[in-house]
Amino acid sequence: MKVRHTISLSGPEVWLPPDGYPLGEASWIGPGQMSMRFEIARAIGSGSAGLFKPDGPDSVDHPAFPQLANALYFTSERQMLSTSTRQALDQAISLQDWNTLFLASPEFMRR
């Protein structure tokens, strides 16, 4: 539900057409939608949004945020990023912050 709500804020949903989500870029890149994407990046990256909560009434939230700055990143992913993205990531002050920037990078905006 939470995920669905966050998706609806970043994409077109007030009047979702019967043929599903639009494919055109213009429907997704409004300035307010970009800001919302970065909020979502932060929510996922810092684990603060309850997005990793398993279903069920008594389930316990997974406490950790994802470890994205891992070996895979340093061995291969880093080479695929633009210089400005790498420079921004190098200025991260915590792992959560790093995750947020990584997920908010231009490389993460397109399929």
Q: Which residues lie closer than 8 Å to 15 by C-beta, 6 or more apart?
A: none
* Least gap, CB of 64 to other proteins (angstroms): 18
Q: With CA atoms as reference, report the closest residue to 109 among 15, 30, 16.
A: 30
Question: Among residues 4, 15, 56, 79, which is the contact residue for other proteins, using CB under 8 A?
Answer: 15
Residues 9, 34: Cα–Cα separation, whole Å: 10
Please report, as ranges, the residues that interact with other proteins according to CB under 8 A: 8-9, 11-15, 17-18, 24, 26-27, 29-36, 38-39, 41-43, 48, 82, 84-85, 87-88, 91-92, 97, 100-101, 104-106, 109
